[in-house]
Chain A
Amino acid sequence: MTSGEIAIQLKSKFGELLSEPVEFRGEYTLKLADAERIAEVCALAKKELGFDFLVDITSIDNYGEDPRWTVVYHLYGYGHHLSVRIKTDVSEEKSELPTVTSVWRTADWHEREIYDMMGIRFSGHPDLRRILMWEGYPYYPLRKDFPLAGKPTDLPGVAFTKVTPLEGGPFVTLPSSGDAIAREPRVRTPEDAEPAISDKRLVGGKLQ
């Protein structure tokens, strides 16, 4: 059997719910129309088609498009050495789909990571907490509208409290209330930084 054939088999079990398999570089992708049924599809793929190894779950932010999220499941079977990819869309208003932790226990950490990085929730997950960022972090950093430079938060992260000795000199940036790039050395509150910025702002490479 080939990956293409097993993808067609999987599709035939669900009819219209799964799209026709799309091939690219020898990999087959099926699109699930209703995200609410992902656990059901995965359970059947594991039980009847031998996909016993969940390689990975990941999420894509289609920023500016609707629906905003795509969740991608990579399935593999040790018995037949074939793989298939299942994708499903989730709208931004909902931002929730069922967990597959009951099918494969490895899904636990993958789903926590998606929740942490993208803010998509998994209903029925036994322990949906942040995993890479700390508990209480207010943003979802892998979203496309989150700036690469990061955002200041009230949470710990104060590395310096005083102005550095070489401020304004080479390789030393100015304190400010801006993002992580503009803010080194960091200050405790944005108000502390205000006079410092207005006094010394780099214009055209020169201190004014």
Chain B
Amino acid sequence: MATAQDISVLDSAARAAQAVEDAADIHGERMVLNMGPSHPATHGVLRIVLELDGEVITKADPDVGYLHRGDEKIAENMTYTQFIPYTDRLDYLAPLANNVAYALAVEKLMGIDKQLPPRCQFIRVICCELARVSAHLLGLGAFAMDVGALTVFLFTFTEREKIYNLIEALTGARFTTTYTRIGGLARDLPRGWVEQCRKFLNEVVLNFDESEKLLTRNRIFVDRTKDIGVIPKEVAIDYGLTGPNLRGSGVEYDLRKAHPCLVYERLQFDIPVGSVGDCYDRYLVRMEEMRQSVRILHQCLDQLPGGPDNKAGEPINVPDGKTVLPEKEKVLTGMEELIHQFILVTQGVNAPSGEIYFSAENPKGELGFYIHSKGGGTPHRLKIRAPSFVNLSILPWLLPNNMMSDVVAILGSLDFVMGECDR
């Protein structure tokens, strides 16, 4: 039995009209949009020239260098110790971590990195982890704010302020810390600092919980970050991504575990990794990293050689008068110390000729220093391998085919800092 069926077939005129409409959609007029260098979501002075087809990005060309100060050139023209303040201004959200990484690089060149006293190593780890918590708090707060959750920003900044108070008590400055010296530290922990730090650690975990409650299962936040800006593992490695951005893509690699410096080998902590590599994974990785940092900090404060106020008089500097400035009292009374002080201040430490590369796991990723020395107190070439610079180089690959409004989510999740990128 035959049945009647209605089939709608467009006539040729209607088909042509349809084709023109489709083609117009595909080949719409491209618009070039200039984002930055002064845009709140670019976290500094990043400029991106975006080519848009409607709301979809077809091409992205990042323009960096607005904050270029020639740090590498400057380093060639001063002693190793004089360059320490410049490292504050690389990743200016984690100056303590930069100080430590730079000092360790020069110490590796001089071959004294294994002689660092244990108390110095513990204090340096404390510095690195405080810097990590502080940098991630800012990164998360700004990321959440960029996708519309302003409250988190206020929460994280409250805690960050407490870290800066601790850092001020420790170094005398809130941002420009210049805390490390070649072969040691500028000064020991002030009295009562360990207790203040413990109090802060107990408070900050409550804040992590609050921030997480506001974000992790927040429908808007999840919708704006999940499956957005996906970086597969192979691409992340190919583009040289490091730090939380690499681990967010599922590569379990952390320099603190793979090549532990200082006392990281003796500390218990886990490396969080993501599974998909989207903005949401990078957020989760940073959140968990902060908790792990708190775990490390607790262990360091408990195991600190010499106790909180160093009643035992544990040294914090390498016992070598030709590397570390002698005590002022001895300089004023002893001839040998006076000579050492004079040579150190005028000529700097006497580094051997050779070349080294040292990298540390900083909040933004692998911060590396390549030092090519011809001997003496000044490097012949000092190259800074800035994680933010390398992490940003993925943008021309990552941004196309995303919506315009997702750019802020992707930039926020990459968590870069231009002071380091532009050097």
Residues of A within 8 A of B (CB): 24-25, 27, 29, 52-56, 58, 60-61, 72, 74, 78, 81, 83, 85, 104-106, 108-110, 113, 117, 130-134, 141-142, 144, 146, 148
CA distance A135 to B111 in the complex (A): 42
Which residue of the partner chain, among A56, A106, A130, A132, contacts B239 with CB atoms under 8 Å? A106
Name the B residues within 8 Å of A105 (CB-CB).
Answer: 238-239, 393, 397
Least CB distance, B73 to chain A, in whole angstroms: 6
Name the B residues within 8 Å of A74 (CB-CB).
Answer: 357, 368, 370, 385
Interface centre among A55, A83, A133, A134, by most chain B C-beta atoms within 10 angstroms, is: A55
CB atoms of A27 and B389 under 8 A apart: no
A78-B251, A81-B259 as given contacts; A24 in contact with B354, CB under 8 Å: yes
A24-B354, A56-B370, A104-B238 as given contacts; A131 in contact with B65, CB under 8 Å: yes
B309 adjacent to chain A (CB < 8 Å): no
CB atoms of A60 and B240 under 8 A apart: no
Name the B residues within 8 Å of A144 (CB-CB).
Answer: 76
CB atoms of A72 and B370 under 8 A apart: yes
Name the residue of chain A whose CB is nearest to the CB of B240.
A106
CA distance A146 to B11 in the complex (A): 72
Residues of B in contact with A, size category: 35 or more
Name the residue of chain A whose CB is nearest to the CB of B389.
A109
B359 adjacent to chain A (CB < 8 Å): yes
Name the A residues within 8 Å of B368 (CB-CB).
Answer: 55-56, 74
CB atoms of B383 and A56 under 8 A apart: yes
CA distance A53 to B259 in the complex (A): 15
A131-B64, A132-B68, A142-B72 as given contacts; A25 in contact with B239, CB under 8 Å: no
Least CB distance, A29 to chain B, in whole angstroms: 7
Name the A residues within 8 Å of B240 (CB-CB).
Answer: 53-55, 104, 106
Name the B residues within 8 Å of A25 (CB-CB).
Answer: 108-109, 111, 354, 356
Which residue of the partner chain, among A27, A52, A108, A142, contacts B237 with CB atoms under 8 Å? A52
Name the B residues within 8 Å of A24 (CB-CB).
Answer: 354-356
Which residue of the partner chain, among A55, A106, A109, contacts B238 with CB atoms under 8 Å? A106
Least CB distance, B14 to chain A, in whole angstroms: 44
CB atoms of A58 and B355 under 8 A apart: no
- B64-81 contact mask (Cβ, 8 Å, vs A): 1 or 0: 110010101110110000
CA distance A146 to B389 in the complex (A): 24
Name the A residues within 8 Å of B295 (CB-CB).
Answer: none
B253 adjacent to chain A (CB < 8 Å): yes
Name the A residues within 8 Å of B366 (CB-CB).
Answer: 55
Name the residue of chain B whose CB is nearest to the CB of A130.
B65
Interface centre among A53, A61, A74, by most chain B C-beta atoms within 10 angstroms, is: A53
Name the B residues within 8 Å of A56 (CB-CB).
Answer: 357, 368, 370, 383, 385
CA distance A119 to B400 in the complex (A): 30
CB atoms of A133 and B65 under 8 A apart: yes
A25-B109, A148-B74 as given contacts; A58 in contact with B356, CB under 8 Å: no
B258 adjacent to chain A (CB < 8 Å): yes
Least CB distance, A148 to chain B, in whole angstroms: 5
B380 adjacent to chain A (CB < 8 Å): yes
The 5 lowest CB-CB distance pairs between A and B, nearest first, are: A106-B240, A132-B65, A58-B383, A109-B393, A56-B385
Which residue of the partner chain, among A27, A85, A133, contacts B68 with CB atoms under 8 Å? A133
